[in-house]
Amino acid sequence: MPICPIDTGRYGSKEMRALFEEESRLQRYLDVEAALALAQAELGEIPQESAVRISNHANVSVVTPEKVKLKEAKTKHDLMAMVEVLSEECGEDGKYVHWGATSYDIVDTSWALIMRDASKILEAKLGRIRDLLCDLALKHKSLVMVGRTHGQHAVPVTLGFKMAVFAAEVARNIQRLKELENRLLVGKLSGAVGTMASQGEKAFEVEMGVMERLGLKPAEISTQVVCRDRIAEFICWSAVTASGLDRIATEIRNLQRTEILEVAEGFEASTQVGSSTMPHKQNPVDCEKVSGLAKVMRGLVVPALENIPLWHERDLTDSSSERFIIPFSFIVMDEMLTTMERVLKNLRIFPENMRKNLRLTKGAILSEAVMMILARRGMGRQAAHEALRKASIRAFNEGRDLKDVLAEMPEVTGLITAEELEDLLNPENYIGKAPELVERAVAAARQADV
């Protein structure tokens, strides 16, 4: 029975999971072996007919997972088990299988093929999330709501401004992924310790022939393995991107609190159940899942970093952990992106609650607006700050509107008229350049091509 939630189909799209399934990984091994044989035959290193036969048999319909597992039970080496099965299936031509190669020539190059396809899935989903955030940002660029710092009401902001901040971050993560792909998606064909000794005088030509067939570029230098800083960089990117999604999810979760309720996840009223005992519950379960999976993603960083310092030209301490962290990083990220896309598509927005919450502090969140006018009209910044600080405390302690307290202060009324004070304490008049900032951020975010 399945043990891991990924195996049950709970997390990750079918498209993403399929890339990391046993049969798919085996086929990638075989693809590399076929490319190797064809490249060597083209250069006269092995017979052409042998390469053709190896290529024709390098398929999981011939070299099946079952056959490989039976062989591995004897060899205790999964890659060598595949090599032996392919060799046997090719008969006399099998002696040219894996010619001059070491295991991780095949393993690391196949990882690059898998990660290339998996990265394309992530890029597409990140792009859609970026676009959803940009659309929300522009649509609500002037929808005023409470800005919060330290969990307290600060000054007004707009919902579109929040979304533009998120869109810009997602766009940066798209750019980071595209940049690191140049370092991540490389193959190797350099042999036992990376010197290419086993491939002879035509080693560079063989390498070029293999990589061109596979659509990869070769690592400029490697040991027995592609150096693990490349994989660690991707895992770190995954953790950064997951934390960005966690940031969006956490904001929505907080704004969905019953006493705030300015935005909320979608809820299937006809069928969805929020609690087994509380019928009224509408919980932010998708955002909570995103936040929970982000913890898993951040947890993968440590083993990825610890895989960088292998002994000498390599040891085997990276292999076992990579069987977890590479598939998990892609599949968990895929699930987080799918979930966040659904959240943003179905986001519920409650402008009436935003207006209500703007009034909770009875004008105190506009204290900065009054302070700056007083400062500009001669009071000076520090004196104006102190006057508004005292007025705000008094208004809070007496349960009064800030406007009424300020109207009793001669140092204020001498510089600001009653009509001006009314305008200053209108939240819609104190959003600064938020709409313009939204437009600038959205334009920049959309330039992060996917």
* Structural domains present in the chain: 14-96 (1.10.275.10), 103-357 (1.20.200.10), 364-424 (1.10.40.30)
Q: Is 275 among the residues known to form the active site?
A: yes
DSSP state for residue 190 in the 8-state scheme: -
Residue labelled with tokens 């935005």: 263
Banded model confidence at residue 8, pLDDT cuts 50, 70, 90? confident
CB count, 10 Å around CB of 146? 23
Q: Is 150 among the residues known to form the active site?
A: yes
Compare 307 and 448 and report the one with higher pLDDT: 307
d(CA 111, CA 181): 13
Q: Quick one: pLDDT at residue 280?
A: 67
Average pLDDT over residues 387-405: 97
How many distinct helices (H) and strands (E) make up the chain?
19, 6
Question: How would you classify residue 202: left for phi > 0, otherwise alpha for psi between -120 and 50, otherwise beta?
Answer: alpha
Q: Quick one: pLDDT at residue 198?
A: 96
Banded model confidence at residue 450, pLDDT cuts 50, 70, 90? low
pTM greater than 0.85 (yes/no):
yes
Helices (H), 346-380: 351-358, 367-374
Q: 153 forms bridges with which residues in the sheet? A: 148
* Among 240, 246, 110, CA closest to 177: 240
Report yes or no: 176 and 237 within 8 Å, Cβ to Cβ: yes
**Residues present in the chain in total:** 450
Q: Which of 13, 61, 87, 150 is catalytic?
A: 150
Per 3-state DSSP, the chain is made up of helix, strand and coil in percentages (nearest 5) of: 65, 5, 30
Q: What are phi and psi of 2, to 5 degrees?
A: -60, 145
Per-residue model confidence as pLDDT tens digits over 161-206: 999 999 999 999 999 999 999 999 999 999 999 999 999 999 999 9
Percent of the chain at pLDDT > 90 equals: 93
User: In 3-state terms, what secondary structure has residue 217?
Assistant: strand
Report yes or no: 284 and 253 within 8 Å, Cβ to Cβ: yes
Per-residue model confidence as pLDDT tens digits over 17-64: 999 999 999 999 999 999 999 999 999 999 999 999 999 999 999 999
Q: Which of 24, 77, 243, 275 is catalytic?
A: 275
Report yes or no: 250 and 263 within 8 Å, Cβ to Cβ: no
Q: Quick one: pLDDT at residue 323?
A: 94
Say which residues have a Cβ less than 8 Å from residue 4's Cβ, sequence separation at least 6: none
* Among 127, 46, 129, CA closest to 92: 46
